A and B are shown apart, each in its own frame.
Chain A
Amino acid sequence: MRAASTQMGRFLNYRVAGWGTLLIVLGILPWFGISSNLTRLLFTALVWIIASVAWNLLGGVTGQVSFGFAVFYGLGAYAAAMGINGGLHPLAAFTISGLVAALASIFIGLPTFRLRGPYFAIATIGVSEAVRVVMTNLSFTGGASGYRIAEHGRFRPLEHYYTALGFSAVAVVISAWIHESKFGLSLQAVREDEEAAADIGVNPLKAKLMVHLLAATLTGIAGGVYARYAAYIHPQGVFGFHTSVAILLMPIIGGAGTVAGPVIGGFVYGLVQEELVAAFPQFHLLLYGALLIVIILFEPRGVTGWLGRLRGFIERIWRKSATASVG
């Protein structure tokens, strides 16, 4: 028992060291004079990572596949934009983004979590489209003309970059904590079998609502961080169905239900997609689709599944060589 716990502790330490190293690398990267394009791409990837990690808590860990996260992303974007135009400090504006999205998650979650499986997924599409149409016709948010954030002073890309890095680190910490916590176990129980989870004392509706609220808050903040950078947002963009699909795709590419998967998916989506657009303007969509098919075809557990296989392969070789040297 003690050996198992020591092994677990060592494994956790390795993981903390890994995440810490990644954070430090991303933190010091701009000091090495990386191009402004790479800074921008990394910023985009980090924003997507926040949303991807958030979706994974509901979709990956809890098994509730939502196609409606653009609602939280969009509401967060608009809340931050209006807050900043109203004179709020960006951090205060992002807090409001999170709160607005959290509030929306309750209104959306209460009725939709009564549904299960594909019915829940379809309901989230419906809610998302309804909100997009309302926002398109809401005059005080600019309607279909979009909403512009007044920019004062010089544009500082690094400030945006570190903001996104900070929030994505917070999102990963929350995700890692949930994976290790009792709350995370209850979410996994809901994912596997709601009735069985209820039998062992988990309240499925409460668990789903809580994780939905948490995920919405993070997604709202991601929307706010994006809006401040873009300085112009539009309902067809931030509330668009493609935004919901992007948020859902990232954890699937990286590996749903894991801590690292959504982060890898966010990087892949943020970096690869635009590079494909730039390098192959005529057939980037075809290539992106092909990339997705290859990932899903070869490893449904996403990139983390591939990495797991690779680790297994290396361990086998290491063990073989160790056995050979002992022999």
Chain B
Amino acid sequence: MKMKWLSALALVGLLLAGFGAPNATSNPAAVAAKDIPVGVVLPLTGREAKPGQFQKEGIELAIKQINEKGGIFVRELNQKLQLREVFYDDGSDQAKSAGLAERAMSSDDVVAVLGGYSTALGEAESVMPDRYQTPWITTGAAATSIFNRGYQWIFGTLSPVDLLGYTTAEFLGTLVDTGKLRKGLKVALALENTDHGVDYGNGIKKWIQERGGYFTVVFSESFDLGSPDFSGLLQKVKNAHADIFLADAHLQDYITMHRQYVQAGLHHTMISYGARGPETDARKALGDATDYIFAGIWWSKNLPYPQVKKFVDDYKGFTGREPDSWYAATAYEAVRGLAAAIEKGGALKKATIRDEMRKLDLRESLLPGQVLRFGKGGQVDTPFVIVQNKPGGRVDLVYPKDAANGEAVVPPAAQK
């Protein structure tokens, strides 16, 4: 009985310690003078935990590097201030995600909020920036529906998903042009039933319509995000007798769907799961079944830029492993962009930061094209790169040609 009460008291003590823990709300004025608080809302638990963790690492690496150089010079205060992360885990829950972004904006006195992975969570958060007139930079939401609503305070370091679809089809088109694929192949589309999936499908269809004769879409159906079972959908894909299978899926769905794809004995000449493919988790879970899957991604560690090589080394030093796919880089760039905007504006006023973000033209960016610039709606418009899994756990950047470090391969089995 005594132990019961002791454990209860310990828990209550811990809770009270939590409530009393110093945070940005405790004395905003005092805090504002000695550092620059930046809100970060990302999932560390729930279904998006893994990408959320990678994005958090990217943000923290950037903050660490900026702070190691003494911080950001704020002209108005005539001093260098360090960045301070105010982090919240949204548990991959939309309501919580919006609530925590709101909390950061309304009470933590942050100059900006970063986060919003993935599109579904970003959609929920995107309501808040204009309400609280606080810049919000999404590091992991790319659906155009977020950026075409006329919001004035939102930015994103991911290019639109319709461009991903377009680039995917364009890449397949180059395989036709180089004789690796024949013209007129049939395509099956399995699209996540979200704005992300809609945009992806639209991008593919747009390219196919523009270049008549290359491909024909013979199947297009949507699926539930986070579904545990895709066997019905995959059976329909099988019956469509397509040559190419293009799905738009998030990491967990990619792993689940491809496992069931393999179990169902499906074969296609080329397979893609949209922006997912090279992730270590998937390759560990599915082994060589992921070989030759290609993905259109926002960034690759194989980009031939010196700053990318340095980032990969720094990230490895920071986390003990190489960046997994694109997640960390777009988050890292968001912090760099924000830091540049604060320094250029020379003030911590949110409106000044927002205005500078709009004018931002950050060179030596990690992103393809090496420039970080936000478009009219606040979203970047950097090109996508295509990577392809190769046997032995290798991942090659195969498109565009001028950045490629490997050849696009049509799987040997498919060529027979």
A→B interface (CB under 8 Å): 35-37, 40, 44, 133, 136-137, 143-146, 148, 151, 155, 230-232, 234, 236-238, 242, 272, 274-282, 284-285, 287, 290-291, 294, 297-298
Contact: B8 with A40, CB < 8 Å?
no
How far, in Å, is A44 (CB) from chain B's closest CB?
7
- Chain A proximity mask over B17-51: 1 for CB below 8 Å, otherwise 0: 11101010100000000000000000011000000
- Asked if B77 CB lies within 8 Å of chain A CBs, one says no
Q: How far is the CA of A290 from the CA of B14 in the complex (A)?
A: 11
Partner pick for B103 among A40, A242, A280, CB 8 A cutoff: A40
User: Looking at the complex, which of B88-96, B254-262, B264-272, B402-410 is the stretch in contact with chain A?
Assistant: B88-96
Contact: A145 with B107, CB < 8 Å?
no
Partner pick for A143 among B25, B93, B145, B193, CB 8 A cutoff: B193
Q: A136-B193, A145-B123, A234-B123 known; A40 and B88 CB under 8 Å?
A: no
Q: What are 14 A-B pairs at a CB distance below 8 A?
A: A35-B25, A36-B107, A37-B106, A40-B102, A144-B224, A151-B131, A232-B127, A274-B99, A276-B15, A276-B18, A277-B96, A278-B23, A281-B44, A291-B15
Contact: A145 with B4, CB < 8 Å?
no
Contact: B19 with A136, CB < 8 Å?
no
- Nearest 9 CB-CB pairings of A with B: A279-B18, A37-B107, A36-B106, A155-B131, A281-B89, A144-B193, A145-B195, A231-B127, A237-B94
Contact: B120 with A234, CB < 8 Å?
yes
Query: For window 169-219 of chain B, which residues contact chain A by CB distance below 8 Å?
Result: 192-195, 198
| B residues less than 8 Å from A290 (CB atoms) | 11
Contact: B194 with A144, CB < 8 Å?
yes
Q: How far is the CA of A278 from the CA of B90 in the complex (A)?
A: 9
Partner pick for A230 among B14, B44, B95, B192, CB 8 A cutoff: B95
- Chain A proximity mask over B66-97: 1 for CB below 8 Å, otherwise 0: 00000000000000000000011101011110
Contact: A230 with B127, CB < 8 Å?
yes
| B residues less than 8 Å from A230 (CB atoms) | 95, 98, 124, 127
Closest A residue to B127 by CB, please name it: A231
- Asked if B225 CB lies within 8 Å of chain A CBs, one says yes
Q: How far is the CA of A69 from the CA of B193 in the complex (A)?
A: 25
Contact: B21 with A277, CB < 8 Å?
no
- Chain A proximity mask over B369-403: 1 for CB below 8 Å, otherwise 0: 00000000000000000000000000000000000
How far, in Å, is A310 (CB) from chain B's closest CB?
15
Contact: B11 with A291, CB < 8 Å?
yes
Q: A144-B225, A294-B8 known; A287 and B14 CB under 8 Å?
A: yes
Closest B residue to A139 by CB, please name it: B193
Q: A146-B123, A274-B99, A277-B91 known; A285 and B11 CB under 8 Å?
A: no
How far, in Å, is A42 (CB) from chain B's closest CB?
13
Contact: B107 with A281, CB < 8 Å?
no
Greatest chain B CB density within 10 A among A144, A237, A275, A285 is at A144
Q: A36-B106, A37-B25 known; A232 and B89 CB under 8 Å?
A: no
Contact: A234 with B18, CB < 8 Å?
no
Partner pick for B93 among A137, A145, A242, A294, CB 8 A cutoff: A242
Q: A40-B106, A232-B98, A294-B11 known; A275 and B45 CB under 8 Å?
A: no
Partner pick for A236 among B11, B99, B143, B226, CB 8 A cutoff: B226
Q: How far is the CA of A280 from the CA of B193 in the complex (A)?
A: 33
Q: A133-B224, A276-B18, A294-B8 known; A236 and B44 CB under 8 Å?
A: no
| B residues less than 8 Å from A281 (CB atoms) | 44, 87-89
How far, in Å, is A139 (CB) from chain B's closest CB?
9
Contact: A297 with B100, CB < 8 Å?
no
How far, in Å, is B365 (CB) from chain A's closest CB?
29
Closest B residue to A279 by CB, please name it: B18
Q: How far is the CA of A238 from the CA of B96 in the complex (A)?
A: 12
Q: A37-B25, A144-B224, A279-B19 known; A285 and B195 CB under 8 Å?
A: no
Q: How far is the CA of A237 from the CA of B120 in the complex (A)?
A: 10
Q: How far is the CA of A35 from the CA of B96 in the complex (A)?
A: 19
**Size of chain B's interface in residues, with CB distance under 8 A?**
46
Q: How far is the CA of A29 from the CA of B248 in the complex (A)?
A: 49
Contact: B193 with A236, CB < 8 Å?
no
| B residues less than 8 Å from A276 (CB atoms) | 15, 18
Q: How far is the CA of A313 from the CA of B57 in the complex (A)?
A: 52
| A residues less than 8 Å from B143 (CB atoms) | 145
Q: How far is the CA of A195 from the CA of B148 in the complex (A)?
A: 60
Q: How far is the CA of A55 from the CA of B50 in the complex (A)?
A: 35
How far, in Å, is A10 (CB) from chain B's closest CB?
34
Contact: B94 with A234, CB < 8 Å?
yes
Q: How far is the CA of A287 from the CA of B10 in the complex (A)?
A: 11
Partner pick for A275 among B18, B98, B224, CB 8 A cutoff: B18
Closest B residue to A145 by CB, please name it: B195
| B residues less than 8 Å from A133 (CB atoms) | 224
Query: For window 117-143 of chain B, which residues contact chain A by CB distance below 8 Å?
Result: 120, 123-124, 126-127, 131, 143
Closest B residue to A273 by CB, please name it: B96
| A residues less than 8 Å from B198 (CB atoms) | 145
Q: How far is the CA of A94 from the CA of B7 in the complex (A)?
A: 44
| A residues less than 8 Å from B88 (CB atoms) | 277-278, 281
| B residues less than 8 Å from A155 (CB atoms) | 131
Q: A37-B103, A40-B103 known; A232 and B193 CB under 8 Å?
A: no
Q: How far is the CA of A148 from the CA of B23 in the complex (A)?
A: 32
How far, in Å, is A46 (CB) from chain B's closest CB?
14
How far, in Å, is B37 (CB) from chain A's closest CB?
14
How far, in Å, is B211 (CB) from chain A's closest CB?
28
| A residues less than 8 Å from B95 (CB atoms) | 230, 237-238
Query: For window 244-299 of chain B, which residues contact chain A by CB distance below 8 Å?
Result: none
How far, in Å, is A271 (CB) from chain B's closest CB?
10
Closest B residue to A230 by CB, please name it: B98
Q: How far is the CA of A272 from the CA of B25 in the complex (A)?
A: 17
Q: How far is the CA of A278 from the CA of B110 in the complex (A)?
A: 14
Partner pick for B107 among A35, A272, A280, A291, CB 8 A cutoff: A35
Q: How far is the CA of A278 from the CA of B4 in the complex (A)?
A: 27
Contact: A277 with B89, CB < 8 Å?
yes
Contact: A277 with B195, CB < 8 Å?
no
| Given A145-B193, A231-B127, 5 further pairs, Cβ under 8 A | A36-B107, A37-B103, A143-B193, A236-B94, A275-B18
| B residues less than 8 Å from A236 (CB atoms) | 94, 120, 225-226
Q: How far is the CA of A238 from the CA of B194 in the complex (A)?
A: 16
Partner pick for B124 among A234, A282, A294, CB 8 A cutoff: A234
| A residues less than 8 Å from B45 (CB atoms) | 285
